[in-house]
Homo-oligomer: A and B are copies of this chain.
Amino acid sequence: MSLPVLARPQLEPLIRSALAEDLGRAGDITSNAVIPAGTRMEGVVRSRESGRIAGVDAAALAFTLMDDGVDVTIAHPDGAVVQAGTTVLSVSGPAHAILGAERVALNLLCHLSGIATATAALVEAVENYPARIVCTRKTTPGLRTLEKHAVRAGGGANHRFGLDDAMLIKDNHIAMAGGVAAALRQGRAAAGHLVRVEIEVDTLAQLDEALAGGADVVLLDNMDPQTLSAAVRRVNGRAITEASGRVSPETVAAVAATGVDIISVGALSHSAPILDLGLDTGLPDG
């Protein structure tokens, strides 16, 4: 099944804000000054390098929210693999509107495609293992919905979206609750019946306690592959296993080889470089 698109109410407020941020108070003073009213133009957004696309609906909406007279055709939807030179979307309409929305459209598309591309690299690196690559809550403020979507576009999956949609009991919680068993007991009691409970464990002893306490997921934090393997064997299907810690395209296969179910990688959303895309027009070079 193709990747579902984000609903318009999920995109629209962010893109309206982004357009307002770039237009500022005076608007696009350059285009206003030098391009005659009524000028129309066409353009295509092309990738300058190979990668995975995300954010194309957001980019399209930037153009049409600027002026509903802009026509946008999406050539490659989110999740598509592109090469240098691939056209992702094409636009035609009033030049003032297209150039006024260009930077917002590209900033979103390049950033999100960068995340999708980085995700796809990790997903590919573990394709021989059952592990899923997931992102964390280490996202850019205001962009969580879109960045999590970009991870899915890259073939990854999502960890929780916020503090509220799953329980993740970490070391500080354990300390203040009075230990793994107490924390899990209280967490389970308070959790709704649709809420999963995950707990961070640093040692195999803690792991045993977590399993005894009925954790749905155990977060095996910063363990080396050998310890991870031991932990996975110890769990033996009684919980979902998640490995976290500094993971790179070079090291991820070794982590996956331990048999963990989930590998969470903060860098997908906080440190992925952009995928370079740009707007090309049929205009002659000035």
A interface residue numbers (CB < 8 A to B): 1-2, 4-10, 13-37, 39, 41, 65-67, 95-97, 99-100, 103-104, 106-108, 110-111, 114, 132, 134, 137-145, 148, 157-177, 179-180, 182-183, 186-187, 189-196, 198, 200, 202, 206, 216-217, 240, 242, 261-262, 267, 270-271, 273-274, 281, 283-286
Q: List 19 A-B contacts (CB under 8 A).
A: A4-B31, A4-B37, A7-B23, A9-B19, A21-B142, A24-B164, A24-B165, A26-B165, A29-B191, A34-B182, A35-B177, A99-B173, A107-B140, A134-B192, A166-B194, A193-B262, A196-B196, A206-B286, A270-B273
Residue of B nearest to A136 (CB): B103
Q: How far is the CA of A174 from the CA of B95 in the complex (A)?
A: 13
Query: Are the CB atoms of B145 and A143 closer together than 8 Å?
Result: no
- Residues of B with C-beta under 8 A to A25: 21, 24, 144-145, 148, 161-162, 164
Residue of B nearest to A4 (CB): B32
Query: Are the CB atoms of A36 and B1 closer together than 8 Å?
Result: yes
Query: Are the CB atoms of A6 and B27 closer together than 8 Å?
Result: yes
- Residues of B with C-beta under 8 A to A19: 7, 9
Q: How far is the CA of A142 from the CA of B26 in the complex (A)?
A: 13
CB distance from A93 to the nearest CB of B (A): 13
Query: Are the CB atoms of B173 and A137 closer together than 8 Å?
Result: no
Residue of B nearest to A100 (CB): B7
Residue of B nearest to A43 (CB): B172
Task: Name the residue among A66, A160, A168 with the largest chain B CB count within 10 angstroms.
Answer: A160
Query: Are the CB atoms of A286 and B179 closer together than 8 Å?
Result: yes
- Residues of B with C-beta under 8 A to A132: 193
CB distance from A274 to the nearest CB of B (A): 5
Query: Are the CB atoms of A187 and B24 closer together than 8 Å?
Result: no
Query: Are the CB atoms of A195 and B141 closer together than 8 Å?
Result: no
CB distance from A56 to the nearest CB of B (A): 14
CB distance from A268 to the nearest CB of B (A): 12
CB distance from A208 to the nearest CB of B (A): 14
9 closest A-B pairs (Cβ-Cβ)?
A174-B286, A33-B190, A26-B164, A271-B273, A18-B141, A24-B164, A4-B32, A175-B283, A166-B194
